[in-house]
Amino acid sequence: MAGVTTTKMSSKGQVVIPEEIRDRLGLKAGSQFVVVGDKDTVILKALSPLSMKEFDDLIAEARKQARRVGMRQSDINAAVAAARRHR
């Protein structure tokens, strides 16, 4: 069950996540979040890095889709070169 508690925002916009919730969710200093705000609701969604297996699966899927649309290594090299010229 989700814990319900209150907290305050500092003058710098910082909000303390209560210790019980940090411990239960395994949050540590430096944890990153996606923040969504709508009307009077603020949602923090903890981000966690992909495992190497998840990353490998993601790369494999990207390569499969690139092959499906006929993308070549030279297309990628040209896109990288164009992006570097625009810096």
Let me know whether 33 and 17 are in one domain: yes
- pTM for the whole structure: 0.55
Tokens of 36: 């969504």
Q: Does residue 3 sit in the same domain as residue 22? A: yes
Residues 8-63: pLDDT tens digits? 999 999 999 999 999 999 999 999 999 999 999 999 999 988 899 999 999 999 99
Whether residue 23 is found in the same domain as residue 60: no
Let me know whether 1 and 43 are in one domain: yes
Q: What integer pLDDT is reported at residue 53 of this predicted model? A: 95
Structural domain total, the chain: 2
Domain range enclosing 58 = 52-85
DSSP 20-70: HHHHHHT--TT-EEEEEEETTEEEEEEE-PPPHHHHHHHHHHHHHHHHHTT
Same domain, yes or no: 39 and 1:
yes
